[in-house]
């Protein structure tokens, strides 16, 4: 089922003049599709700021719909000491 994702302009967001708009929009779209930052190109400033803007947008959309963000799952290591009895 295809989804229609909003563009930054559709939600009233403009990329600042010092960023590359095409890369900003690509980062925004990548975040909306649930992507992760795994490639070298994804760490360029324009892409990251677009990615961050989309994550903040998604957080506001979820809050407006009454969905809560769950706390981050903590990881810990448990090391048991064995006393050879």
Q: pLDDT by residue (tens digit) across 3-59? A: 788 888 898 888 889 999 999 999 999 999 988 888 888 999 999 999 999 999 988
Give 36's Cβ-side CA count (13 Å radius). 1
pLDDT of residue 23: 94
Angle, helices 21-32 vs 45-64, to 10°: value is 40
Yes or no: say if 49 and 28 are a contact pair by the CB < 8 Å rule. no
- Comparing 51 with 74, which gets the higher pLDDT? 51
Could you tell me the pTM of the whole model?
Answer: 0.72
């Amino acid at each position: 089922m295809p989804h229609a994702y909003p563009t930054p302009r559709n939600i009233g967001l403009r990329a600042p003049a010092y960023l590359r708009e095409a890369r900003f929009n690509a980062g925004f779209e990548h975040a909306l599709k649930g992507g992760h930052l795994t490639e070298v190109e994804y760490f360029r400033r324009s892409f990251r700021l677009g990615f961050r803007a989309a994550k903040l947008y998604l957080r506001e959309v979820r809050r407006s719909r009454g969905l809560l963000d769950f706390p981050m799952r903590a990881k810990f290591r448990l090391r048991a000491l064995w006393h050879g009895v």
